[in-house]
């Protein structure tokens, strides 16, 4: 490692990292480390990043059973805790996969994530997608679950009741949603006994989702932003020729040059200053350290924030085609673009 590398992985004081206060009053670190290896980064490398990220000051880790690495990540978390970081000082999220939406399956899946992650509770547990449609890891864009279904609110609420039971059982502290839309969330907020603490959603300068963002904030739901850098390493199934790259946007590049940082740092600063919680993935110590350092120094100006607000391209990268339930559908059908839940 060169002297320059050593400077760039200098730790950040976790106390200096902004926190988000959730509706329960709990505080969640505003930046987390993503752990999805995008079908090409193996569990060992992700676990090493978790260990390294904790050493440079990360205290928030975004996990999921479908990432296929919770056992390795759990080994890293156990080491982190053995090393003297207290359990209450880390925030661990996991998610139930689409084929485990039934009550018993969901509870068993949560227990499996807890066992793999070597934890006795999760800070946050999410319903990963609002569709019970399975796709195997590494599948291509044409893959469909044979029994694929649309969003059926009554079924989602059965899943949500099991999520609420996990809170009652003290296996999880908070529950939340992911990949939701305004009309779906309106129903869940109406019917939930325990309302979602967060909604995890794609958020980056080219996909700002202003309407959904405002809706969740107005309803006391913390937005967590995935693919905050535009996911340059995302799986092949999630790439189309229309996709754009926020880190290459001339506005982001110019702001980065002005601040003397990588465009990634600008995306992360913007995300945290706007109010979402980005969860950038990286296995590169220089990159994950820089992503965290971005939020404790040299904030963007109001003019820069306005300039970034103006480059939204409504460019969704994770389109979710593999979750479609009928032939001849468009991926837009998953996202209720007309403001109403797409009918069966
Ligand atoms: N709820 C959901 O449905 C959902 C969906 C997608 C993702 N997620 C979560 O969100 C996390 C983040 O999304 P993502 O992993 O798709 O995309 P991302 O964080 O936008 O991008 C990660 C990529 O950016 C590179 N990178 C990171 N920091 C960098 C830096 N400072 N400079 C240059 N390149 C940098 C990484 O490469 P290096 O490793 O080389 O640094 C990696 O290829 C996931 O890991 C997962 O936890 C959730």
Q: What is the pLDDT along the chain (344 residues), one digit of tens a residue?
A: 444 444 567 899 999 999 999 999 999 999 999 999 988 999 999 999 999 999 999 999 999 999 999 999 999 999 999 999 999 999 999 999 999 999 999 999 999 999 999 999 999 999 999 999 987 778 888 888 888 999 999 999 999 999 999 999 999 999 999 999 999 999 999 999 999 999 999 999 999 999 999 999 999 999 999 999 999 999 988 999 999 999 999 999 999 999 999 999 999 999 999 999 999 999 999 999 999 999 999 999 999 999 999 999 999 999 999 999 988 899 999 999 999 999 88
Does any ligand 1 atom lie closer than 6 A to the CB of residue 69? Answer: no
Q: Give the Cα separation of 138 and 321 in Å (integer).
A: 14
How remote is the CA of residue 34 from the centroid of ligand 1, in Å?
6
Neighbours of 37 (CB within 10 A): 21
What is residue 144's predicted lDDT score, i.e. its pLDDT? 86
User: Active-site positions?
Assistant: 67
For the entire predicted model, the pTM comes to: 0.97
What is residue 4's predicted lDDT score, i.e. its pLDDT? 43
Does any ligand 1 atom lie closer than 6 A to the CB of residue 222? Answer: no
Helix (H) or strand (E) holding 217: helix 210-218
Alpha carbon 297 to its chain's center: 23
Position in ligand 1 atom list of the atom nearest CA 234: 16
Does any ligand 1 atom lie closer than 6 A to the CB of residue 96? Answer: no
Phi, psi of 75 (to 5 degrees): -60, -40
Q: Which residue's CA is the closest to the ligand 1 atom numbered 5?
A: 226
Taking a C-beta distance cutoff of 8 angstroms, is the pair 72, 47 a contact? yes
Helix-then-strand count for the chain, H and E: 11, 10
How remote is the CA of residue 268 from the centroid of ligand 1, in Å?
11
Does any ligand 1 atom lie closer than 6 A to the CB of residue 282? Answer: yes
Taking only Cα atoms into account, the Rg of the chain, rounded to an integer number of angstroms, comes to: 19
Q: Give the Cα separation of 40 and 231 in Å (integer).
A: 13
Alpha-carbon distances, residue 190 vs 185, 193, 334 (angstroms): 8, 9, 21
Does any ligand 1 atom lie closer than 6 A to the CB of residue 256? Answer: no
Q: Give the Cα separation of 192 and 44 in Å (integer).
A: 38
How remote is the CA of residue 260 from the centroid of ligand 1, in Å?
22
Taking a C-beta distance cutoff of 8 angstroms, is the pair 326, 46 a contact? no
How remote is the CA of residue 139 from the centroid of ligand 1, in Å?
19
How remote is the CA of residue 262 from the centroid of ligand 1, in Å?
15
Q: Give the Cα separation of 267 and 252 in Å (integer).
A: 8
Does any ligand 1 atom lie closer than 6 A to the CB of residue 62? Answer: yes
Choose one of 5, 12, 36 to mutate for the ligand 1 pocket test, by most ligand atoms within 8 angstroms of C-beta.
36
Of 61, 58, 62, 49, which is closest to residue 15 (Cα–Cα)?
58
Q: Give the Cα separation of 324 and 331 in Å (integer).
A: 7
Phi, psi of 198 (to 5 degrees): -140, 160
Order the strands of the 91-96 sheet from edge to edge: 33-34, 60-62, 91-96, 122-127, 172-178, 198-202, 222-226, 277-278
Q: Give the Cα separation of 193 and 285 in Å (integer).
A: 41
What is residue 137's predicted lDDT score, i.e. its pLDDT? 76
Tokens of 42: 């193996």
Position in ligand 1 atom list of the atom nearest CA 229: 20
């Amino acid at each position: 490692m060169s002297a320059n590398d050593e400077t760039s992985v200098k730790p950040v004081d976790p106390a200096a990292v902004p926190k988000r206060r959730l509706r329960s009053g709990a505080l969640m670190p505003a930046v987390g480390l993503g752990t999805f290896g995008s079908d090409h980064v193996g569990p060992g490398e992700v676990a090493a990043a978790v260990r390294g990220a904790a050493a440079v000051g990360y205290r928030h880790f975004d996990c999921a059973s479908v990432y296929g690495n919770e056992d390795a990540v759990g080994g890293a978390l156990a080491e982190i805790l053995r090393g003297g970081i207290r359990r209450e000082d880390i925030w661990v999220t996991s998610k139930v996969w689409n084929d485990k939406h039934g009550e018993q399956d969901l509870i068993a899946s949560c227990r499996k994530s807890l066992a793999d992650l070597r934890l006795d509770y999760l800070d946050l547990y999410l319903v990963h997608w609002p569709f019970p449609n399975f796709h195997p890891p590494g599948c291509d864009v044409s893959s469909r679950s044979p029994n694929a279904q649309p969003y059926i609110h009554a079924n989602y609420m059965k899943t949500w009741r099991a999520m609420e039971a996990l809170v009652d059982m003290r296996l999880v502290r908070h529950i939340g949603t992911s990949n939701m839309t305004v009309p779906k969330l309106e129903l869940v907020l109406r019917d939930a006994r325990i309302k979602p603490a967060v909604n995890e959603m794609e958020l980056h300068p080219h996909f700002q989702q202003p309407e959904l963002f405002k809706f969740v904030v107005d309803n006391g739901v913390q937005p967590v932003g995935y693919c905050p850098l535009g996911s340059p390493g995302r799986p092949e199934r999630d790439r189309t020729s229309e996709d754009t790259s926020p880190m290459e946007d001339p506005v982001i590049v110019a702001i980065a040059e002005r601040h003397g940082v990588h465009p990634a740092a600008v995306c992360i600063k913007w995300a945290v200053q706007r109010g979402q919680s980005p969860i950038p993935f990286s296995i590169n110590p220089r990159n994950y350290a820089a992503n965290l350092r971005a939020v404790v120094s040299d904030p963007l100006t109001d003019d820069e924030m306005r300039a970034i607000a103006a480059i939204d391209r409504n460019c969704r990268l994770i389109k979710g085609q593999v979750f479609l339930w009928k032939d001849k559908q468009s991926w837009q059908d998953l996202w209720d673009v007309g403001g109403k839940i797409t009918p069966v």
